[in-house]
Amino acid sequence: MRWSRRKFFTLKNQAIQSERTMTYRLYNRTGSGGFVVEAALALAEAPFELVALDSKPGTPLPDSFRETNPWGQVPTLVLPDGSIMTETAAILIHLAACHPGKSLAPAPGTSAHAAFLRWIVFTNVNVYEAVLRVAYPHRFTSDPNATEATRTAAVTRMGEALGVLENAFGPGPFLLGDALGVVDVYIAMLCIWFRGDIEAPRLEGLTEGVRQNSIVGPIWRRHFGDR
Ligand SMILES: N[C@@H](CCC(=O)N[C@@H](CS)C(=O)NCC(=O)O)C(=O)O
């Protein structure tokens, strides 16, 4: 009961705050997964406020941040109406739906959109999840001697998932065709976090296309430098 009341006030304050700004608010830290949400907001030409958390990639975020996201992760996006979104795939799907003229993703109801949904969810649950097992292996085993093996298995599994994406391309340079979309930006970010070694010329081409994009490129360099 005490918890519910505190939660209510937190949400109310956030709603009041965003009524003032009428803009998105993105919580991230430099070099972390909020990069792709920042890129999506920029592609959508949507105004947003960036809250950069003082924390290094690969380390837990400050405990106080759990008041905003109880799972303690970025990206966390506050929508213009004050409601909170987490989970990268859900955020990207939502932004694409809210900004249909900006080509973040194919039009809903088409086969191309079905492919977009398929691969963005695949990327989230198989590739991004593996990154967590590499960065925080102790969360995935209760055996303190097994953290390195957990990490190694995660890198292998991530490589297998990236291999599936490598074979999912059609003729275009990007996953779903000729035009860059948010799923490409998402995959490129995960590719540069991969610590293994696989033969993946299509993913390399996609990543280069993301780096060279005039809107996304500058955001990429602020987060990842020359990587
Ligand atoms: N399932 C989440 C994963 C997000 C995630 O792993 N974020 C990392 C940064 S790249 C994080 O916040 N790590 C801190 C932690 O897990 O304690 C999503 O899809 O957004």
Query: The domain that contains 168 carries what CATH number?
Result: 1.20.1050.10
Domain-located, residue 131: yes
Total domains in the fold of the chain: 2
> CA 214, CA 108: separation in Å to the nearest integer?
26
Instruction: Tell whether 146 and 58 lie within a shared domain.
Output: no
DSSP state of 126: I
Instruction: Tell whether 162 and 74 lie within a shared domain.
Output: no
Domain-located, residue 80: yes
**Tens digit of each residue's pLDDT (9 = 90 or more) over 170-222:** 999 999 999 999 999 999 999 999 999 999 999 999 999 999 999 999 999 99
Instruction: Tell whether 79 and 133 lie within a shared domain.
Output: no
Task: Report which protein residue has its CA nearest ligand 1's atom 18.
Answer: 87
pLDDT band at 110 (very low <50, low <70, confident <90, very high): very high
Length of the chain: 227
Please list the alpha-helical segments (H only) found in 22-135: 34-43, 88-98, 111-122, 129-135
Q: Which amino acid is at 9?
A: F
Domain-located, residue 222: no
Instruction: Tell whether 136 and 77 lie within a shared domain.
Output: no
158 has a pLDDT exceeding 80: yes
pLDDT at 134: 97
Domain-located, residue 223: no
Mean pLDDT score of the chain, rounded to an integer?
91
Q: Report which of residues 1 and 186 the model is more confident about.
A: 186
Domain boundary among 102, 131, 166: 102
Half-sphere exposure of 171 (CA within 13 A, CB side): 0
Domain boundary among 35, 67, 102: 102
List Cβ neighbours of 159 (8 Å cut-off, separation of 6 or more): 194, 196, 197, 198
Instruction: Tell whether 23 and 86 lie within a shared domain.
Output: yes
Instruction: Tell whether 9 and 72 lie within a shared domain.
Output: yes
Domain extent for 39: 2-102
> CA 72, CA 185: separation in Å to the nearest integer?
23
Domain-located, residue 218: no
Terminal Cα-to-Cα distance of the chain (whole angstroms): 48
Tell me, what CATH number does 39's domain have? 3.40.30.10
User: Could you tell me the pTM of the whole model?
Assistant: 0.91
> CA 120, CA 183: separation in Å to the nearest integer?
6
Pocket of ligand 1 from Cβ distances under 6 Å: 32-33, 60-61, 72-75, 87-88, 124, 128, 132
pLDDT band at 101 (very low <50, low <70, confident <90, very high): very high
Task: Provide the 3-class DSSP secondary structure of residue 20.
Answer: helix
Task: Report which protein residue has its CA nearest ligand 1's atom 6.
Answer: 132
List Cβ neighbours of 80 (8 Å cut-off, separation of 6 or more): 18, 21, 22, 23, 24
Domain-located, residue 220: no
Instruction: Tell whether 76 and 18 lie within a shared domain.
Output: yes
pLDDT band at 57 (very low <50, low <70, confident <90, very high): confident
Q: Which tokens is 89 given?
A: 């795939």
Domain-located, residue 47: yes
Ligand 1 centroid from CA 59, angstroms: 10
pLDDT at 58: 83
CB atoms within 10 A of CB 149: 12
Q: Report which of residues 107 and 9 the model is more confident about.
A: 107
Domain-located, residue 221: no
Instruction: Tell whether 9 and 94 lie within a shared domain.
Output: yes
